[in-house]
Structure 1
Amino acid sequence: MERAILGLDIGGTGIKGGVLIKGHLEDIRSIPTPADQDKEHILETIALFIESYLDYDISGIGIGIPGLVDVNEGIVLGLANIPAFQHVELRKFITERFSKPVFINNDANCFALGVYKFGVGKQFKNLVGITLGTGVGGGIVINGHLYSGVTSAAGEWCSAPYLDENYEYYCSGKFFHNLYHQRPKTLAKKAAAGDPIALKAFEEYGYHLGELIKTILFALAPEAIVLGGSIRKSYPFFKDALYKNLTTFPYPTVLDKLQILLSELDETGIHGAVALVEVEPETVNS
């Protein structure tokens, strides 16, 4: 039986899993998240999902979650859109149930680690991953190691004040919902057809994302920024506005060495979760 690493991507609506065998992600599965149930029911759902993979010789389990985590203790401090999942000793529960090493981190951190280990970020030692979707998430890789910070909160630029709201309001799907009252995917189709309002929406979005990236450059000056999430697929519509804004960054030598790339991985969350098992012992956490 082949040795495998199991990765879980736990979200507010679904739980996805897959196994890494000889460097390849296989057997992708998903189930609905029982987000309206109590903690015990959710834990049992996760356990049964893990059990469905025990035909493989699982050497370790990595888990990404959309919330804050005490990485050292494996405690989920809070999970977005799942009210009952607060201060849950998830590592202890799974370890006692399956006698496997378990590693847990924030899903945006997993994204950054996933693109570094398996995607377009492999060629860089220092990168930032940004997920652009319903919200905005950020993950940081420094000198080849994931930097999680205290309670995995490093890279949470989403909540940083920006204009009259925060960066998430202007750099996620919320921007299109709140200011244009349409889904990003709908506006992308209209932009592709040349609709001037849709094109204007993405031009404004590109400007705001440029402001976020400049903030990141001031703090970290990474070699690369990798964009993930569903909105990245609309990159051709906001790329020019993004780069136009970046020309105002005061340190051109930083810009000269920066690459902005799109993640090509379809299952980045699972890739990042399995990567936790391989590199977590060396992860910088504070």
Structure 2
Amino acid sequence: MGNSQVIGIDLGGTAIKLGRFSQDGSCLQSLTIATPQPATPEAVFAVMVDAIAQIDPDNQTIAIGVGTPGPADATRRIAQIAINLPGWQNIPLADWLEAKIGKPTIIENDANCAGVAEAWLGAGRQFRNFILLTLGTGVGGAIILNGNLFVGHQGAAGELGLITLQADGPMCKSGNQGSLEQYTSVKAIRRLTGKEPVELGMLAQSGDVNALAFWAEYGRYLGIGLTSLIYVLTPEAVIIGGGVSASVEFFLPAVKAEIAQRVMPTSRAGLQILPAQLGNSAGMVGAAKLAWELIRNS
């Protein structure tokens, strides 16, 4: 185990990120490749195998972790659904990779991977209990309880972006209506403003009144969604990640104000709301951590 290494993979709709990691979480080499379009399971698997060969030419690694954009099953071997990827229903990705590469493999939801990463090396290090929200194309979540990732009865717990915010709001791919995701994802921001989050961040930076008002309203929605989660879980911290978190300074005050008003002090004693620290690499870092755990527990 001394100088052995694992591979962490973050499978996304536009890019696949791979990293080779040592036991302390140092990334020794990384690689990003375009996700094939259409991103069918077979096409993705083929480029993944090729990329693994590139990042581990001397076959030094002992396990593989993969974060996928959707829930894994309870055994962490099957990608049950991959949101925004066509044809992904109950794909036994761990079996495929093990058969081809010959290394133990674990699959987990990408937001769960990000939560594991933040707990290991990021903003969650000092907490035993926290929740992570990833504000991206969709809105994902992770729940860390007593230092462990909580995955629930069949592995799919922590879909924090799919809680109901408005009973009759816009339809969500999940089948829910008016989910938190429909007000706080990148897609939602485009629908609500016709602009990209990056653009709205730059406008807010320059003092644009409309952009600042948008982010205040955005923070209000996020705060209302978080209120439900805080009442249920009473975490020590809420960590905000994903691409939209780049503008956290503009919406955090509204989030905090909403929570202060709506959540009883007993349910939020000492609660911290913090930006995530690992950015775009969180998915592959967390996948690598789960690969290490797989080896340790086998």
Q: Give the TM-score taking structure 2 as reference length.
A: 0.89
Whether the 8 Å contact between 1:71 and 1:103 is mirrored in structure 2 is no
1:56 Cα deviation from its structure 2 partner: 4.9
- Distance in 1 between the 2:190 and 2:84 partners? 19
Whether the 8 Å contact between 2:80 and 2:89 is mirrored in structure 1 is yes
1:126 Cα deviation from its structure 2 partner: 0.8
- Distance in 2 between the 1:272 and 1:58 partners? 16
2:127 maps to 1:124: yes
2:265 maps to 1:255: no
Structure 2, unpaired ranges of 5+:
170-177
Counterpart amino acid of residue 32 in structure 2? S
2:77 maps to 1:74: yes
Whether the 8 Å contact between 2:106 and 2:291 is mirrored in structure 1 is yes
2:144 maps to 1:141: yes
Match of 2:180 among 153, 167, 178: 167
Whether the 8 Å contact between 1:145 and 1:282 is mirrored in structure 2 is no
1:81 Cα deviation from its structure 2 partner: 1.9
2:48 maps to 1:46: yes
Question: Which has the larger displacement, 23-32 or 173-182?
Answer: 173-182
- Distance in 1 between the 2:64 and 2:188 partners? 35
- Distance in 1 between the 2:28 and 2:72 partners? 27
Please tell me the root mean square deviation across aligned C-alpha atoms, in Å: 1.9
TM-superposition CA deviations, 1:111-146 (whole Å, max 9, x none): 111100111211111111110122111001111111
Q: Which residue of the partner structure matches residue 269 of structure 1?
A: 283
Structure 1, unpaired ranges of 5+:
none
- Distance in 2 between the 1:9 and 1:172 partners? 19
Whether the 8 Å contact between 2:164 and 2:180 is mirrored in structure 1 is yes
1:148 Cα deviation from its structure 2 partner: 1.3
Q: Give the TM-score taking structure 1 as reference length.
A: 0.93
Whether the 8 Å contact between 1:203 and 1:241 is mirrored in structure 2 is yes
Whether the 8 Å contact between 1:176 and 1:201 is mirrored in structure 2 is no
2:101 maps to 1:87: no
Paired residue secondary structure (1:121): coil
- Any residues of structure 2 matched to 1:93-132 within 5 Å, and which? 93-132=96-135
Q: Which residue of the partner structure matches residue 3 of structure 1?
A: 4
- Any residues of structure 2 matched to 1:224-263 within 5 Å, and which? 224-263=237-276
Q: Which residue of the partner structure matches residue 187 of structure 1?
A: 200
Whether the 8 Å contact between 1:133 and 1:230 is mirrored in structure 2 is yes
Match of 1:222 among 229, 235, 243: 235
TM-superposition CA deviations, 1:143-182 (whole Å, max 9, x none): 1111112443211122222212111011222332112111
Counterpart amino acid of residue 139 in structure 1? A
Runs of 4+ with deviation above 4 angstroms: 280-283
1:268 Cα deviation from its structure 2 partner: 0.5
Paired residue secondary structure (2:261): coil
1:280 Cα deviation from its structure 2 partner: 4.9
Question: Which has the larger displacement, 20-29 or 36-45?
Answer: 36-45
1:187 Cα deviation from its structure 2 partner: 0.8
Q: Which residue of the partner structure matches residue 15 of structure 1?
A: 16
Counterpart amino acid of residue 4 in structure 1? Q
- The verdict on how the C-alpha distance between 1:257 and 1:282 changes in structure 2, with shifts beyond 3 A counting, is farther
1:215 Cα deviation from its structure 2 partner: 1.0
1:41 Cα deviation from its structure 2 partner: 2.8
- Distance in 2 between the 1:280 and 1:139 partners? 19
Paired residue secondary structure (2:262): coil
Paired residue secondary structure (1:128): strand
- Distance in 1 between the 2:110 and 2:71 partners? 9
- Distance in 1 between the 2:76 and 2:111 partners? 19
Identity within the alignment, %: 33
- Distance in 2 between the 1:61 and 1:281 partners? 10
1:5 Cα deviation from its structure 2 partner: 1.2
- Distance in 2 between the 1:280 and 1:245 partners? 40
